[in-house]
């Protein structure tokens, strides 16, 4: 396993559409394992393969809620709730930038696992937000494409202090 470099928004690869995974082999498993290590080191909630320069429809999500890491291969959103919420989002490919984005409260995703078996994943709240955010990457979008308001440095600092209980 290895830590991969996370590409930043200046890299045109982030604006490209990722291709479907056809082979469920050791190469895919290595990518998933490397993405897991990379996400952990970066202290993020999710990572798309395109963020490490690989144009494949592969996403991992781990929101540290005790449910563990989710590996989503060839994911597609199959259902969203009508109810939405607006909350702050950041991105490992846009370090230090945060903005408000409106997302569905509940999202259901159909995806394959590392062995090619199809599964359904339902996410609420932060998990739903992560599903949307990471799947957007697969189609060449970053959160700033959907932002309603970018946060100032003071607003970001206040959010971080609130999270730490300061």
Task: Please state, in angstroms and rounded to a whole number, the distance separating the CA atoms of residues 1 and 83.
Answer: 40
Residue 94 lies in a domain: yes
- Compare 114 and 159 and report the one with higher pLDDT: 114
What pTM was estimated for this model as a whole? Answer: 0.94
CATH of the domain at 89: 3.90.45.10
Domain containing residue 41: 12-164
Residue 4 lies in a domain: no
Residue 25 lies in a domain: yes
pLDDT bracket for residue 166 (50, 70, 90)? low
Residue 56 lies in a domain: yes
Q: Is 134 a catalytic residue?
A: yes
Residue 1 lies in a domain: no
Residue 7 lies in a domain: no
Catalytic choice (10, 134, 161, 162): 134
- pLDDT tens, residue by residue, 19-28: 999 999 999 9
pLDDT bracket for residue 157 (50, 70, 90)? confident
Give the count of domains, the chain: 1
Residue 2 lies in a domain: no
pLDDT bracket for residue 162 (50, 70, 90)? confident
Residue 20 lies in a domain: yes
């Amino acid at each position: 396993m290895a830590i991969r470099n996370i590409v930043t928004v200046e890299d045109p690869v982030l604006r490209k559409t990722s291709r479907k995974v056809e082979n469920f082999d050791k190469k895919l498993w290595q990518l998933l394992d490397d993405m897991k290590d990379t996400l952990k080191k970066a202290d993020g909630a999710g990572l798309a393969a395109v963020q490490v320069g690989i144009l494949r429809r592969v996403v991992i999500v781990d929101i540290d809620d005790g449910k563990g890491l989710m590996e989503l291969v060839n994911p597609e959103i199959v259902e969203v709730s009508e109810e939405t919420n607006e909350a702050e989002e950041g991105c490992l490919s846009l370090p230090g930038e945060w903005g408000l984005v409106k997302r569905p409260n509940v999202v259901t995703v159909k995806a394959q696992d590392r062995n090619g078996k199809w599964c359904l994943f339902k996410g609420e709240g932060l998990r739903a937000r992560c599903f949307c955010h990471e799947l957007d990457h697969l189609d060449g979008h970053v959160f700033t494409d959907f932002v309603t308001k970018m946060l100032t440095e003071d607003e970001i600092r206040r959010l971080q202090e609130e999270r730490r209980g300061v």
